[in-house]
Amino acid sequence: MSNLRQRAGEVRIRVGGNTQETASLVDSLPNGDMALKEPSNLNDPTSTPALRYTADALYMLGNISSLVDVKWFLGIPFNDTTNLRLQIAEVGEAVLDSGGYLLGFQVGNEPDLYAAHGVRPSTYSPYDYFGEVGILVDAVNNDNSIPVKNNLVVPSVSGTWTPEDVFNTGIVTSYDNSLGYLAVEHYPTDNCYAQYGIGSPVDPQTVFPDYLNHTS
């Protein structure tokens, strides 16, 4: 991290991904652990576990930042918008924002894959995502333990939807006061076959050069 910071000036890291969607902040875990993975949706083709973690995980991020000035994106769980779990935002801002180490909170990780992964109905659309983002925006605005209201990250699509598919819902203009970043997640390829038998085998060494340019 120190080398990256010296070369690039600043290091920004996203903590989350598929695991953020079912993550829950808990007071403590057995044996003093700060994170624990448990079986979750058995129909999810990625077999993503449910994550339980304590505030120690966020304090650890703060300690890393104090040493090498890393800044963080975190993800708010989005698997159940009828029962939002905002503790990561409440504690994350308390621990990280005072040092300027917190950049923002991702609202949904690859929502365009929700239907394919069996975590939303098959009819789930950009307009459904727009509506659920609105639910979270209202919840954040009504939560006095989340002082920063304008650092949310959307839409974080993977390519099944285009960014324009989501932008055409009016998401940017409707939630402008709550958004801090617009993001997409693009991977030139993947090697899901190695773990899940999805797609085709990929030789990492062969495709590595594709990740060293901006043309893929």
Q: What is the pLDDT of residues 102-121, one digit of tens each?
A: 999 999 999 999 999 899 99
Cβ neighbors of 210 (< 8 A, separation 6 or more) are 188, 189, 216
Please list the ranges in the chain whose pLDDT falls under 50. none
Return the pLDDT at 2.
78
Return the pLDDT at 87.
97
Return the pLDDT at 106.
98
Q: First vs last Cα of the chain: how many Å apart?
A: 26
Fold of the 2-185 domain: TIM Barrel (3.20.20)
Q: Are 153 and 104 in contact (CB under 8 A)?
A: yes
Q: Are 133 and 107 in contact (CB under 8 A)?
A: yes
Return the pLDDT at 216.
60
Return the pLDDT at 186.
80
Return the pLDDT at 46.
60
Give the residue from 108, 102, 201, 114 showing the smallest Cα distance to 146: 102
Return the pLDDT at 41.
58
Structure tokens at 140: 């954040």
Return the pLDDT at 195.
79
Cβ neighbors of 87 (< 8 A, separation 6 or more) are 24, 25
Phi, psi (rounded to 5 degrees) for 183: -140, 150
Total-model pTM: 0.88
Q: Are 86 and 78 in contact (CB under 8 A)?
A: no
